[in-house]
Chains A and B, each alone.
Chain A
Amino acid sequence: MSKKQKMSGAEAFVECLNKEQVEVIFGIPGGALLPIYDELYDSDIRHILVRHEQAAAHAADGYARVTGKVGVCIATSGPGATNLVTGLANAYMDSVPMVAFTGQVPTSMIGNDAFQEANITGITLPITKHNYLVKDAKMLPDIMREAFYIASTGRPGPVLIDLPKDVQTDAIEFEYPKSIKLRGYKPTSKGHPLQIKKAAKVIMEAERPIIYAGGGVVISGAHAELLALAETLMAPVTTTLLGIGAFPGAHPLSLGMVGMHGTKYANYAMTESDLIIAVGARFDDRVTGRLDGFAPNAKVIHIDIDAAEISKNVAAHIPIVGDAKNILTELIKEIKRKPKSKWNEKIEKWQKEFPLEYDRKSKELKPQYVVEQIYDMCPDAIITTEVGQNQMWAAQYFKYAKPRTFITSGGLGTMGYGFPAAIGAKVGCPDKTVIDIAGDGSFQMNSQELATAVINDIPVKVAILNNKFLGMVRQWQEMFYDKRYSATRLDTSPDFTKLAEAYGALGIEVTKPGEVRDAIKEALASDKPVVIDFKVAPEENVFPMVPAGAAINEVIDYGGKI
């Protein structure tokens, strides 16, 4: 029988974080969090003060994605809490394990429109996996234990805990619960053996199989099993944006990314396949394009831990619910080696015929060239991205060898994500080079975090592909709205090198292709946070491109017009 200790809710909060082995939390204090911050003051938990709560959430998210651990962030009641909302929605869409804490007005004042009161559990209901309002300090240990468990198991996601001020000061008898009692929450982990046998049979019969791997492979840690499956079957592998890194990008069986800005050969292979083996991927509309044109002759094996993803968008012939690593391990035992086939040859021909391309001879500084040089000089870096063209080029022109090295906002597409996520990633993996491949628009949504990076000595690098436009939107305006560039010009951006220097970071400007490598070298050599302002060709477009409403084999090639 363990001894119970008397302590305040705030002390219990810190104790619970210790029990969950939380090493770092990102946040900003406020009136409703004073008791907790007072406890944090002499705890061993590292607290990183950010400059905007949105960044706290994204940093926790970036930390979680690179380490696989639960990311933790904290914000005060009212505006602090509402500032977390975008970060929570982002983590929810991309299935990121996170626990967010918010201060709340005292329980006696809840519902009175008290100063800095916001109904944050109500607001975040649709964008959290679960949330709690702690009404009694005695409940806190159970709730915290449950929250970390829910966030990190099954299909991961963010969980929010709202902490009224009196709950932080009330005294309780503390004991960390040994077990969790959740009648309504039992994630499936093992796949059904009969379904796996059925899948193996269909796989052995298929002539044109394709493996379609998503973020679930990364979450599950199933990359080694995926590689074994692909090599045994000689099956080509395409990944989603969030599946990048789940399969080595430079592997001969790799087709790169599928979908709207995927490679032409991935989209052709998907369309002509007779079997799609989907692993931890959710048939997002960016991937499928027009549904009736999507892989019309393919049977679908769908492996996913979330039953609700199965047959949501594309009907599955053989659903297997469970953890990807478990299921692939069993599946591999049921299949036999296959030789190289006509299908492989056909795909190799497409790969030769339709490589990713841009005008390499141009004297202009091309954004794709910048990404290629970053890849060449630090292929093992962790890359985070902002949203837009920069994100797509970072996905296309860098060949990620390992999972958890490409960190991007996929489902929500949150501009301003990449920089704070890079900070979180660097905190999680201090020995790795972390580079945010950024856009000039997105970077300005959280550039205030330069202060966080400098003051806390978190030397992330930001490579701004500065095209002086909200480029992705401009591209659509160019192609579909007669080049009417409504509200997409960013000519009035600040001088990013000076901005970096104002915060105490290093700023480097690059205007010519010949300067790219020296600038990257200098940035890597510096022990400070660095911003490189690459002044790239302003009206460069992302290709290949599947226009909205088209099937994914209806691809517009480089320089193409609609």
Chain B
Amino acid sequence: MKHTLSVLVENKPGVLARVSGLFSRRGFNIDSLAVGVTENPEISRMTIVVEGDDRILEQVIKQLNKLVDVIKVSDIKPESSIDRELALIKVEAGPKERSEVMQIADIFRAKIIDVGTKTLVIELTGDVSKINAMTDLLRRFGIKEMVRTGKVSMLRGIKAARGE
């Protein structure tokens, strides 16, 4: 089972190494990890997607909380959160395939951000399943390259996964 953790950390050098080191040392698997600074420049937020049962999740949260540079860990439930991921996909598409690929991009409300003689680069934002669905469709044209940012999440409504 996949879980999404929103982790507020001190924006200091070495913090990413502490967090990722903890995951590897304790044998927890990271599915994806996205980091960026928050509204407070001293604090960064990591959105970490982990795979594991409830017991593993509980240990991950407790161990993360033990790190001095970790300020707060929130377990973000899908029903109460919105999440997005951004992907750049370079698809093999010559003049013949181009229009079909562009149509697919259109349906997914993706953008074409680069056109080469034999390739197109698509920018897609959405939740993880949307990105997976689109890449599945594009696969038959040939995906030359793909970059994904990893998921970022936020609680809906007035609540915030914030430190004091």
Taking CB atoms and an 8 Å cut-off, the chain A residues in 127-145 that contact chain B are 129-130, 133
**Residues in A neighbouring B9, C-beta threshold 8 A:** 184
Is B18 close to A, CB under 8 A? yes
**Residues in A neighbouring B97, C-beta threshold 8 A:** none
Q: Mark B57-88, 1 if CB is under 8 A from A, else 0.
A: 01100110111111110000000000000000
Could you say which of B21, B58, B163 contacts A126, with CB atoms under 8 Å apart?
Answer: B21
Could you say which of B25, B55, B65, B67 contacts A307, with CB atoms under 8 Å apart?
Answer: B65
**Residues in B neighbouring A182, C-beta threshold 8 A:** 68
Taking CB atoms and an 8 Å cut-off, the chain B residues in 12-60 that contact chain A are 14, 17-18, 21-22, 25, 55, 58-59
Could you say which of B18, B65, B71 contacts A125, with CB atoms under 8 Å apart?
Answer: B18
Number of A interface residues at 8 Å Cβ cutoff, please give it: 17
The reply to whether A150 and B68 form a contact with Cβ atoms under 8 Å apart is yes
**Residues in A neighbouring B25, C-beta threshold 8 A:** 126
The reply to whether A185 and B68 form a contact with Cβ atoms under 8 Å apart is yes
Shortest B35–chain A CB gap in Å is 16
Q: Mark B130-164, 1 if CB is under 8 A from A, else 0.
A: 00000000000000000000000000000000011
Is B127 close to A, CB under 8 A? no
Is B10 close to A, CB under 8 A? yes
Task: Across the interface, name the chain A residue whose C-beta is closest to B24.
Answer: A126
The reply to whether B10 and A125 form a contact with Cβ atoms under 8 Å apart is no
Task: Across the interface, name the chain B residue whose C-beta is closest to A187.
Answer: B66
**Residues in A neighbouring B70, C-beta threshold 8 A:** 184
**Residues in A neighbouring B67, C-beta threshold 8 A:** 184
Shortest B17–chain A CB gap in Å is 7
How far is B9's CA from A184's CA once the two chains are assembled, in angstroms? 8
The reply to whether A125 and B17 form a contact with Cβ atoms under 8 Å apart is yes
Could you say which of A125, A150, A307, A311 contacts B21, with CB atoms under 8 Å apart?
Answer: A125
How far is B18's CA from A121's CA once the two chains are assembled, in angstroms? 10
The reply to whether A121 and B14 form a contact with Cβ atoms under 8 Å apart is yes
How far is B58's CA from A312's CA once the two chains are assembled, in angstroms? 9
Number of A-B contacts (CB under 8 A): 37
Could you say which of B10, B59, B65 contacts A312, with CB atoms under 8 Å apart?
Answer: B59
Q: Mark A69-110, 1 if CB is under 8 A from B, else 0.
A: 000000000000000000000000000000000000000000
Is A561 close to B, CB under 8 A? no
Q: A150-B68, A306-B66 are in contact. Are A183 and B21 (CB under 8 A)?
A: no
The reply to whether A308 and B18 form a contact with Cβ atoms under 8 Å apart is no
The reply to whether A183 and B71 form a contact with Cβ atoms under 8 Å apart is yes
Is A514 close to B, CB under 8 A? no
Could you say which of B10, B14, B62, B164 contacts A308, with CB atoms under 8 Å apart?
Answer: B62
**Residues in B neighbouring A494, C-beta threshold 8 A:** none
Could you say which of A129, A133, A184 contacts B10, with CB atoms under 8 Å apart?
Answer: A184
Q: Mark A178-197, 1 if CB is under 8 A from B, else 0.
A: 00001111000000000000
Task: Across the interface, name the chain A residue whose C-beta is closest to B63.
Answer: A308
Shortest A543–chain B CB gap in Å is 34
**Residues in A neighbouring B72, C-beta threshold 8 A:** 184
The reply to whether B164 and A183 form a contact with Cβ atoms under 8 Å apart is yes
The reply to whether B59 and A130 form a contact with Cβ atoms under 8 Å apart is no
In this complex, the member of A125, A133, A183, A185 whose beta carbon has the largest number of chain B beta carbons within 10 angstroms is: A183
In this complex, the member of B9, B10, B62 whose beta carbon has the largest number of chain A beta carbons within 10 angstroms is: B62
In this complex, the member of A121, A150, A184, A185 whose beta carbon has the largest number of chain B beta carbons within 10 angstroms is: A184
How far is B22's CA from A311's CA once the two chains are assembled, in angstroms? 19
Task: Across the interface, name the chain B residue whose C-beta is closest to A308.
Answer: B62
**Residues in A neighbouring B63, C-beta threshold 8 A:** 308
How far is B129's CA from A62's CA once the two chains are assembled, in angstroms? 55
The reply to whether B59 and A183 form a contact with Cβ atoms under 8 Å apart is no
Taking CB atoms and an 8 Å cut-off, the chain B residues in 117-137 that contact chain A are none
**Residues in A neighbouring B66, C-beta threshold 8 A:** 306, 308
Could you say which of A121, A150, A184, A307 contacts B62, with CB atoms under 8 Å apart?
Answer: A307
Q: Mark A304-315, 1 if CB is under 8 A from B, else 0.
A: 001110011000
How far is B18's CA from A133's CA once the two chains are assembled, in angstroms? 13
**Residues in B neighbouring A150, C-beta threshold 8 A:** 68
Task: Across the interface, name the chain A residue whose C-beta is closest to B14.
Answer: A121
The reply to whether A183 and B17 form a contact with Cβ atoms under 8 Å apart is no
Could you say which of B14, B21, B22, B69 contacts A184, with CB atoms under 8 Å apart?
Answer: B69
The reply to whether A130 and B68 form a contact with Cβ atoms under 8 Å apart is yes
Taking CB atoms and an 8 Å cut-off, the chain A residues in 288-313 that contact chain B are 306-308, 311-312
**Residues in B neighbouring A306, C-beta threshold 8 A:** 66
In this complex, the member of B62, B68, B70, B71 whose beta carbon has the largest number of chain A beta carbons within 10 angstroms is: B68
**Residues in A neighbouring B59, C-beta threshold 8 A:** 308, 312
**Residues in B neighbouring A130, C-beta threshold 8 A:** 68
**Residues in A neighbouring B55, C-beta threshold 8 A:** 311
How far is B17's CA from A307's CA once the two chains are assembled, in angstroms? 23
Shortest A442–chain B CB gap in Å is 27
The reply to whether A184 and B17 form a contact with Cβ atoms under 8 Å apart is no
**Residues in B neighbouring A133, C-beta threshold 8 A:** 14
How far is B55's CA from A312's CA once the two chains are assembled, in angstroms? 8
How far is B68's CA from A133's CA once the two chains are assembled, in angstroms? 15
Task: Identify 6 residue pairs between A and B in the complex whose beta-carbon atoms are under 8 Å apart, listed by A's number.
Answer: A125-B18, A125-B21, A126-B22, A182-B68, A183-B10, A306-B66
Given A125-B17, A125-B21, A184-B10, list of 13 further CB < 8 A pairs?
A122-B17, A125-B18, A150-B68, A183-B164, A184-B9, A184-B67, A184-B69, A184-B70, A184-B72, A307-B65, A308-B59, A311-B55, A312-B59
The 3 closest A-B pairs by CB, nearest first: A308-B62, A184-B71, A130-B68
